[in-house]
Every structure is written in C-alpha cells, then in structure tokens.
C-alpha cells in the first residue's frame, strides 16, 4: 500500500488521463447510466453525474450522515461507497421518498432549520420506522444518533420521528377506511 499525500498538480494531470467507466444504477425506480471515474463516490455520482442534488455531502468520512441514502432498502453512507460498487443496485435518495410520513412530520414539528442535514435524517428515519414502527423517545434518539444537525438541537427531530410513526398509523387507517368505502360501493352496484 502506498501511503502519503498527493503532491499538488498531479491530480489535474491524472484527471485528464483518467479512464471512465459506464455505471448503471436504479435510482428512485429509474435506471440511470453515466460515465465516471472508478474513484467517484456514490454521493458525488448522484450529485454530479445524475444531478440529483438532494443528497448532501457534509464530512465525506462517514461521521455526519448528511449523505445517507437507501441501498437496496437499507440506509448507508453514500460518501463511503464508490458508485462503481453500487452498479446494478437500487438506490433511494431523498427525491424518491415522495412526501412520506417522515417528511410530513418534519414540516409539522419544525424538524429542520437550515435543512442541510435533513436529507440524511429523512432517509435514515424512513428506513428505521419500517423496522420499528412505534419507537419510544429513547429509541428515536438512538435511531438518529448517527446523524449530525447543527441547528435544531435535535429536540424537534426526535419529535418528528415520533410524529412520523403516528402519521404512518393514521395513513394506514385512512387507507383501510377508503378500502372499506370502495367495498361498500361495490356492494351497492
């Protein structure tokens, strides 16, 4: 393994000669293909090649959680994966959440201020609630412990996690009612 820092200038030279590879990903249920160098991080591939700038890049070493996306349904740090390694896998970014219960809860509970960390929180919490639909406050705090927010002090984000769990229950109940109404109408006809 070669260790050491890159000397200034060599990066630009290397870039011009750097070979590109075709990378195909399914992002938010749409197939995308773009050419990029193999060292392109998934976070940068989403933002630069695919122009999906909802995924934010904070620390680029896995600490802040802003770049969290769903990889085959499970949250991962997109700054800690190369786009080429994600070839043929399914990615969900914040653009693909389609105004889900978590987003609704963030609006209702003032769960964001500047919004920079928010895409990472939304993806993380969305995946968390699928496995843990009724968390306690302590569990909600633990669920977001891998995401940093410098504005809110977390209180309203914790509240948003709990509210999102409630909204999920309400929405499920609404669907039940609508289905019931449909069945009743079907019976009349």
Partner 1 sequence: MKPSVFVHHAPRSVDEALAVLAEHGHDGKVLAGGQSLIPMLNMRLAAPGHLVDINRVAGLDTVEVTADAVHIGALVRHTQLERHEGAFVHLPLLRQALVHVAHPVIRNRGTTVGSIAHADPCAEMPAVLALTSGYVEVASSRGTRTVAARDFFLGPLESCLEEDEMVTGASFGRFAAGVGTAFAESTRRHGDYALAGVAAVVSVTDGLITSARASFVSVTPTPDVLDLSDLLTGSAPEDGAWAKAADLAREHVDPETDIHASAQYRRMLVGVLIARVLAQAASSSTAVAARD
- Judged by beta carbon, residue 65 or residue 96, the one nearer partner 1 is 65
Nearest distance from C-beta of residue 87 to partner 1, angstroms: 8
CB of 18 or CB of 174, closer to partner 1:
18
| In contact, 95 and 52? CB cutoff 8 Å | yes
Q: Min. distance of Cβ 15 from partner 1 in angstroms?
A: 8
Q: Which H or E run contains 130?
A: helix 118-131
- Taking a C-beta distance cutoff of 8 angstroms, is the pair 50, 31 a contact? no
**Cβ distance to partner 1 smaller for residue 57 or 151:** 57
| Number of C-beta neighbours around residue 128 at 10 A | 21
Question: Between helices 155-188 and 101-108, what is the axis angle to 10°?
Answer: 130
Interface positions with partner 1 (CB under 8 A): 1-6, 11, 14-15, 18, 21, 37-39, 41, 44, 60-62, 65, 68, 71, 74-77, 79-82, 84-85, 124, 128, 142-143, 145-146
- Provide, rounded to whole angstroms, the least separation between the CB of residue 43 and partner 1: 10
Nearby residues of 134 by Cβ (< 8 Å), 6 or more positions away: 165
Q: Which is nearer to partner 1, 38 or 136 (CB)?
A: 38
Alpha-carbon torsion (71, 154, 118, 134), positive or negative? positive
Kindly state the smallest distance separating residue 31's Cβ from partner 1, in Å.
Answer: 19
């Amino acid at each position: 393994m070669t260790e050491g820092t890159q000397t200034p200038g060599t990066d630009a030279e290397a870039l011009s000669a750097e070979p590109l590879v075709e990378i195909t990903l399914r992002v938010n249920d749409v197939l995308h293909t773009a050419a990029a160098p193999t060292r392109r991080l998934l976070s940068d591939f989403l933002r630069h090649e695919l122009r999906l700038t909802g995924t934010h890049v904070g620390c680029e070493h896995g600490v802040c959680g802003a770049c969290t996306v769903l990889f085959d349904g499970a949250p991962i740090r997109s700054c800690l994966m190369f786009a080429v390694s994600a070839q043929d896998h399914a990615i969900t970014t914040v653009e693909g959440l389609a105004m889900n219960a978590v987003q609704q809860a963030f609006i209702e509970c003032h769960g964001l201020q500047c919004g920079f960390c928010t895409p990472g929180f939304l993806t993380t919490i969305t995946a968390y609630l699928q496995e843990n639909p009724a968390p306690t406050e302590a569990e909600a705090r633990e669920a977001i412990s891998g995401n940093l927010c410098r504005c809110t002090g977390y209180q309203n984000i914790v509240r948003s996690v709990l509210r999102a769990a409630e909204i999920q229950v309400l929405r499920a109940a609404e669907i039940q009612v609508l289905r019931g109404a449909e069945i009743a109408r079907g019976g009349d006809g």
